[in-house]
Structures are given as structure tokens and as C-alpha cells.
């Protein structure tokens, strides 16, 4: 939380009680994504009148300054930044339990080497499968 507050201040955002409560909730999700609906439900339990617009705006701002990471699948999912020192990183996501594991290496050079003359403006990589625990449980069955 201290690092997140520091990032908010560094980027000239007010450190409000609502933002602290949102960050506190999100900080529980460093190794798993949470749906925006679950985030909204939590925030409404604390602030009944909070609008979807406020929640989405804060999440978008948090993503822009590196406090959270998002994933688009059937719905938008968000998780707390797992590595403040290396904003650019990739994940392995377990399809069974949803556990997220940070991958240390970036394979972008492999792809850019195949694209001479191209300008790559960004990328995102997530690898899916079963984590070690889920694989072990599956083999035990």
C-alpha cells in the first residue's frame, strides 16, 4: 500500500479515502484477477452511491500509472500490480484456479526479429495452462 500511495502522489492524484479503500481491496489480488463487478460490489458496500463511472475511471487511471494490470476476456478483469519495479512483464494464468504467476523473461525480440522494417508499438503476453498445484491434483485423481 505504501508503494501505491507513493505512485498516486508522484502522478499528482489525490489520496482520498475512496482510492485507499479501492487499493486496499485490490491489494488482495496480486496473484489472481478479480472482476470489475466484484470490485464494484465491494466499493458499493462501503460507498452505496458510488457510480460505475467513478469505479471505471479510477481503475483506468490506476492502470495508466501502473498500480493495476487488466485482462480482457469475456469480461474485464483486474489485478494489483505484482511487480512495481518491473511494470513490463508477462504472466502465466492457471485455467483451473486462476492463479497468476509473473514471467521474468520477455520474448519480444523473437517476434521483432521476424518483422524487419516493421514498427512494433506494444505487446502483451499471457500463457495459459495448469499451475503446478492443479497439475499435481489432476495427476493424483
- Beta strand 90-94 with 126-129: parallel, antiparallel or unpaired? parallel
- Residue 12 counted as an annotated binding residue: no
Mean pLDDT of the 113-130 span: 88
Q: Which pLDDT value is given to residue 97?
A: 86
- For 90-140, give the CATH class: alpha beta
pTM, to two decimals: 0.70
- Residue 91 counted as an annotated binding residue: no
> Domain extents for the chain?
2-80, 90-140
- Residue 131 counted as an annotated binding residue: yes
- Convert the pLDDT of each residue in 76-114 to its tens digit: 677 777 666 666 778 788 888 888 888 888 888 889 999
What kind of fold does domain 2-80 have according to CATH? Arc Repressor Mutant, subunit A (1.10.10)
- Residue 134 counted as an annotated binding residue: yes
**Residues in Cβ contact with 27 at an 8 Å cutoff, skipping those fewer than 6 apart:** 1, 4, 80
- Residue 82 counted as an annotated binding residue: no
Amino acid at each position: 500500500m505504501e508503494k501505491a500511495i507513493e505512485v498516486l502522489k508522484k502522478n499528482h492524484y489525490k489520496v482520498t479515502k475512496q482510492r485507499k479503500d479501492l487499493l486496499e481491496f485490490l491489494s488482495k489480488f496480486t496473484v489472481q484477477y478479480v472482476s470489475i463487478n466484484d470490485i464494484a460490489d465491494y466499493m458499493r458496500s462501503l460507498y452505496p452511491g458510488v457510480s460505475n463511472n467513478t469505479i471505471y475511471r479510477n481503475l483506468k487511471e490506476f492502470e495508466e500509472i501502473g498500480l493495476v494490470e487488466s485482462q480482457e476476456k469475456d469480461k474485464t478483469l483486474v489485478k494489483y500490480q505484482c511487480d512495481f519495479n518491473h511494470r513490463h512483464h508477462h504472466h502465466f494464468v492457471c485455467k483451473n484456479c486462476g492463479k497468476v504467476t509473473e514471467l521474468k523473461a520477455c520474448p519480444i525480440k523473437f517476434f521483432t526479429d521476424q518483422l524487419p522494417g516493421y514498427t512494433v508499438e506494444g505487446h502483451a503476453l499471457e500463457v495459459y495452462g495448469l499451475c503446478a498445484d492443479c497439475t499435481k491434483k489432476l495427476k493424483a485423481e
